[in-house]
Amino acid sequence: MVQLQRFFDEYFMSEALHLARKGLARTSPNPMVGAVLTKDNKVIGRGFHRCCGEAHAETVALIDARGKTAGATLYTNLEPCVHHGRTPPCAEAIVRARLRRVVVESIMFKSTSASSRPRPKN
C-alpha cells in the first residue's frame, strides 16, 4: 500500500510540475507553481500561477475543485505561501478547505513564506 501511494504521489507531483511550466516567463518575480488536487487518487482540481498578482496555483486548484475538497490531497511543487501580498495566503485557503494531506516538492527557506518556520542549521 505504501508503494502504491508513493506511485500516486510521484505521478500527481509530476503533473503539478507540468502545470507549473505553463507560467514560464509570466510569473516573475514570483516562481512558477503548479497544483493538483486529488480525492481517492482521482484529480478534482488543477491550477497554476498564471501571472504575478493573480491567484496562486493552490487557490486556482481549490476553486477548480468546486468545494469538494474535504479529505482531499494537494500536490504542489512549492510550499504554499503564508504571507499577505497582492493575494491572500494560500495556506489559509488550504486550512479552510479541510484537506487531508499536502504534498510539497520544494521549500523556499529564504522566502517570506518560510519566515514563520525555524531555519535549518548547517
10 tagged catalytic: no
- Name the E strands within the chain: 34-39, 42-48, 73-76, 101-104
What is the Cα–Cα distance from 99 to 85, expressed in whole angstroms? 23
Place of cell 496562486: 56
Of the residues 10, 58, 79, 92, only one is catalytic, namely: 58
- Please identify every residue annotated as catalytic: 58
